[in-house]
Structure 1
Amino acid sequence: MFPLDFPYEIFKEAGKKGQWALDPFCGRGTTVYAGRMLGLRTIGIDSSPVAVAISQAKLANTNPRAIIREVKRILNNDSTNTHVPEGIFWEKAYHPDVLSALCKIREELLNDCESDERIALRAIVLGALHGPKQKTKQSYFSNQCQRTYAPKPVYAVNFWNKNRLEPDYVNILSIIEERANKYFNEEVVRSKGQIITGDSRDSNTFKTISKRVSWIITSPPYYGMRTYIPDQWLRLWFLGGQSTVDYSMNGQVEHASPEMFAAQLKKVWINSGAVAKKRAQMVIRFGGLNDRKADPLEILYHSLDDTGWKIDETKSAGFASQGNRQAVHINTDINSPREEYDVWATWRG
C-alpha cells in the first residue's frame, strides 16, 4: 500500500476534475480519497469486507455531529437484540460494558448500514477496535493490542495474563467523537464514486462499472503477503464474520509460485483495461518481501505481458520501511521489504 501523497501528487499534477479513476486493489481507499480531494470520480474494488467498509467511508458525505447523533441513537435503542461472544479471549480483550456496547453497534450496523453516517461510524469503530493502551487518554476500545492486526486469542490471553493486563472501561462515545472530528471535520469535495465488493481477477466484478476510467493507481499484494484475513479477524467479526480466527485464503491472490501469481495479476490488468479510456494511465506500486527470492519487477513485468498495457517507465519508490506501509504493518510474519517500484503504463488495447 502507499501513502496518500502518492496518488494525490499524481492527480494534482496530471489529473483533471471530473475524470474517473480506478483502484482494483483499493485497500484502505487511499486512491479513492485522493481523487475525492481533487474532484476526480473514483471506483475501488476489493474482496476484503474490511477494505470495502473503510473505502466506502472515504466517500461518505457527512459530519461529526451527524455521526455522534447516529451512534447515540443506536446505543439508546433498547429494542436491539444483542449477541455477545463468550470465552476467555473476549473477557480479557474488552471490558464487559464496552463489549456489550460494541455488540449493540455491530448488530445495528449489520441490520442497516445504508446512510453515510452509519458508513462513517462503521469505519470509525473498525479503526478503534483494537490498539495500544495509553497512559492518559484512551484511543482504542481494547486491552493492549497491536493497532494494525488483530491478536491471535491464545497468544493474546497468555500475554495479558503474564503482564497482568486487564481491559479498561473506556468511553466509547468520546473515542468515536474524537475520531469523527479528526476524519470527517474537514470540508472535502462532495464525493461521487463506487466501491465494489469483488474479486478483481473476475471480469464479472467489472460489469457494474459504466464509466471509462482515465487513471488506474493501485498496489497489489506483494508476492508472499498472504495473512490479511487472519490478521483482520476481529474487524471481520465486527462486519458479521465469525468470532474465531479465519485462516482461509478465500478471495485472495494465490502465492503458490511467482508464475501463478503473475498470471493472476494479468487477469486484473486485462479487466482494468476493459473499462479504461484509450491512452489511460496506470501506475502500479509494487515490491517484494525478503523471505521470497523472486524478483518483484520480473513478476510485475511478466504480469503485464500481452495485456494491452505498454510499460512507459519504472521509478524507484524507496523502501517500505521508510514510511508507514500496509505491507509492513498489517502482516506479522514478514521481514523488512525490499525496494519498492512505481511502474507507469499506458492503455493501448
Structure 2
Amino acid sequence: MLLSTKREEQRGAAESSLLHLIARFEATGSAVEVNFRQLMSSDGSTNKSAHAIHPYPAKLLVNIPQFFLAALPTVSGSALLDPFCGSGTVLYEGMLAGLRPIGSDSNPLARLITTAKLTPLDRAIARRHLDEVMAAYPSASPNIPDVVNRDYWFSERISDCLGRLKTAIQRNVPAPYRPVFDVSFSATARRVSYADPRLSVPVKINPDRSARYGAKGDEVIRRLVRLGEVDVGALFWSIASQNIQRCPELGQLFAVDRPEIFSDARSLGVAEASVDLAITSPPYVGAQKYVRASSLSLGWLGLTPDCKLRPIERQSIGREHLAADEALTSSGTGIPEADALLEEIVERNPLRARIAQRYLLEMRDALSELSRTMRHDGNLVLVVGPNLVAGLEFPTPFFLQRIAEGLGFSTKLHLLDSIASRGLMTKRNRTAGLIQQESVFLLKRVRTGA
C-alpha cells in the first residue's frame, strides 16, 4: 500500500513537472536546462535491480525513462518501443510500469542482456540449474570458441576454465534459462581478462605503464596478480547467483512473458501505427565503440565466427568504419545545414565526413521506421548529444530533430541535461571530443503520413 501510494505521488509530481517544463519551453522557445537526477530521484533500489546484471557501456540514465513513464499517460499492456535499446534500461522500466516492451539493437550482446532482464524466471529452478552447472564444470571438456586475440587477453588456465564453464552451461541449462546464464558467463569472461577494468573498450593492463594509471595504479596492477589465482568457477557462481536474484520472478504481473527484440532499427517487425510511446537514445555519430567494447563477450559467446567483428559492426548505425563502397552521397542528407557542415569536414577528414553523412542517412531510415510504427498523437522521447567531428561541432540533436519533424513529429519540449558520468565512450579519437550535455526531446506524432 505504501509503495503504491509513493508511486502515485511520484506520478503526480512528474506530471506537474512536465506541464511546467512544457509551459517554459513554449514561452521562451528555448531549450530548458534540467537535472534528471533531481527531477526524478531513484527509489534507491536501482543498483540492486536487473540494470546491474552486466557492465554494458553507455547505459542510459535510468531517471530519464522513469520520469517520462511517470509523467506521460500510458495504458497498461500498451506497447513501449526502444529501437536502440542497448542493455534494456528503457524496456525494463517500462515493463515494471506495466507496458509491453519492444526493442531493437544491432549488437547481439545487447539483445542478449535485454532478453535476460525482461524474461521472468522461476528463481528456484534457476538456482537448481546453477548447481548442476557447478557440479559438471570441474570435469567438463572445454569448449573454446573463436575469440579475437584470445591469447593476448586470457591466460591458458583461464581460457580452459571458461571453456569448461561454457560446456557445463550448454549441457545443463535449458533454453528459457540460458539468457541469464550466458549474460553471467559474459560478465565473468570480462572480469578474468587482462583488460583494464576502468575502461569500457578493452585495453590490456601494462605493468610497465603503472605510473600512468594515477591513484589507482597499484590496484590495477594487483589485478594481474589476482588473475593468476582467481577461481573462475567461484566467480561465475557469485555473478550468476546475484543475477538470478535480480531478474524478474516468474508469476509477477508483467505485460508479456517474452519481449519482442529485433536486430535492426530500420526494419522492425511491428505493425503500422501500433505504438503509443517510444523512448530511445540513438548511438552517437562515430563516437561510440559498442562492438569493440563487447568484443571479448561476443567471442566467448560464440558470436564472432572466424574472430571477425566487422560483420557485426557493419549492421550498426554510428559505426567506426565504412566499407570502400560507402562513399559520400552527392545528393546529400536533405538537411542544408548538415550538408554545408559536411563540406567543411571533407576538407579536414574525408573519412569522417563519410561516416557522419552515412550516420544521418541511416538515422533517417531508422526514424522513418519509428514514425511508421507510431500512432497519431503518440509520444517519442529522443535522447541525443552533440559531439565533434574532425574538430568541428556536429549538432546531432538539431539534425535529428529536423529529420523527425520532416517525418511527422512535432517538438513539444526540448530539455538539456548535463552528463556527469554515464560510462560513455565518447572520446573516439583526438577529433571526436567529449559529450558534456544531452538534448532530450519530447515529440508528438502529428501526421499519419511521412
Normalising by structure 1, we get a TM-score of 0.80
Among 61, 66, 86, the alignment partner of 1:3 is 61
Does the 8 A contact of 1:49 with 1:239 survive in 2? Answer: no
Match of 2:368 in 1: 270
CA distance in 1, matches of 2:426, 2:169: 30
Aligned-partner residue type, residue 242 of structure 2 = R
Does the 8 A contact of 1:18 with 1:41 survive in 2? Answer: yes
Match of 1:218 in 2: 280
CA distance in 2, matches of 1:81, 1:46: 33
Cα 1:125–1:346, aligned 2, differ >3 Å: closer, same or farther? same
Structure 2 matches for 1:111-260, cutoff 5 A?
A: 115-130=175-190, 140-143=191-194, 145-146=196-197, 149-152=200-203, 156=204, 158-159=206-207, 165-166=224-225, 167=227, 168-170=229-231, 171-180=234-243, 183-184=246-247, 189-190=253-254, 192=256, 193-201=258-266, 205-207=267-269, 212-240=274-302, 241-242=304-305, 244=307, 246-247=309-310, 249-254=313-318, 256=354, 258-260=356-358
Deviates more, 1:56-65 or 1:267-276: 56-65
Cα 1:128–1:8, aligned 2, differ >3 Å: closer, same or farther? farther
CA distance in 1, matches of 2:382, 2:65: 10
Residue 88 of structure 1 deviates from its aligned partner by 12
Does the 8 A contact of 1:66 with 1:117 survive in 2? Answer: no
Among 85, 92, 101, the alignment partner of 1:26 is 85
Residue 263 of structure 1 deviates from its aligned partner by 2.3
Residue 111 of structure 1 deviates from its aligned partner by 8.1
CA-based RMSD = 3.5
Aligned-partner residue type, residue 316 of structure 2 = Q
State which structure, 1 or 2, has the greater radius of gyration over its C-alpha atoms: 2
Cα 1:33–1:327, aligned 2, differ >3 Å: closer, same or farther? farther
* Corresponding residue SS for 2:61: coil
CA distance in 1, matches of 2:357, 2:106: 22
Does the 8 A contact of 2:287 with 2:426 survive in 1? Answer: no
CA distance in 2, matches of 1:213, 1:99: 45
Residue 28 of structure 1 deviates from its aligned partner by 0.9
Residue 122 of structure 1 deviates from its aligned partner by 1.4
* Corresponding residue SS for 1:129: helix
Provide, for residues 293-326 of structure 1, a one-character-per-residue CA deviation record: whole Å limited to 9, x for no partner: 21122221232242122222211122x2x13244
CA distance in 1, matches of 2:82, 2:247: 22
Does the 8 A contact of 2:277 with 2:380 survive in 1? Answer: yes
Residue 281 of structure 1 deviates from its aligned partner by 0.3
In structure 1, stretches of 5+ residues that fail to align are: 131-139
Aligned residue pairs: how many?
A: 331
Residue 341 of structure 1 deviates from its aligned partner by 0.6
Cα 1:21–1:111, aligned 2, differ >3 Å: closer, same or farther? farther
Deviates more, 1:5-14 or 1:179-188: 179-188
Residue 265 of structure 1 deviates from its aligned partner by 1.1
Does the 8 A contact of 2:383 with 2:438 survive in 1? Answer: yes
CA distance in 1, matches of 2:208, 2:150: 12
Match of 1:341 in 2: 439
CA distance in 2, matches of 1:120, 1:92: 27
Task: Tell me if 1:282 matches 2:380.
Answer: yes
Match of 2:416 in 1: 316
Among 34, 40, 45, the alignment partner of 2:99 is 40
CA distance in 1, matches of 2:276, 2:301: 32
Does the 8 A contact of 1:220 with 1:286 survive in 2? Answer: yes
In structure 2, stretches of 5+ residues that fail to align are: 1-58, 211-220, 320-353
Does the 8 A contact of 1:22 with 1:213 survive in 2? Answer: yes
Match of 2:115 in 1: 56
Cα 1:150–1:125, aligned 2, differ >3 Å: closer, same or farther? farther
Cα 1:150–1:8, aligned 2, differ >3 Å: closer, same or farther? same
Does the 8 A contact of 1:219 with 1:285 survive in 2? Answer: yes
Provide, for residues 29-85 of structure 1, a one-character-per-residue CA deviation record: whole Å limited to 9, x for no partner: 011100111111110101110110011012111255433322332344489653336
Paired-residue identity, %: 18
* Corresponding residue SS for 1:122: helix
Residue 283 of structure 1 deviates from its aligned partner by 0.4
Match of 1:104 in 2: 164
Match of 1:304 in 2: 404
* Corresponding residue SS for 1:262: helix
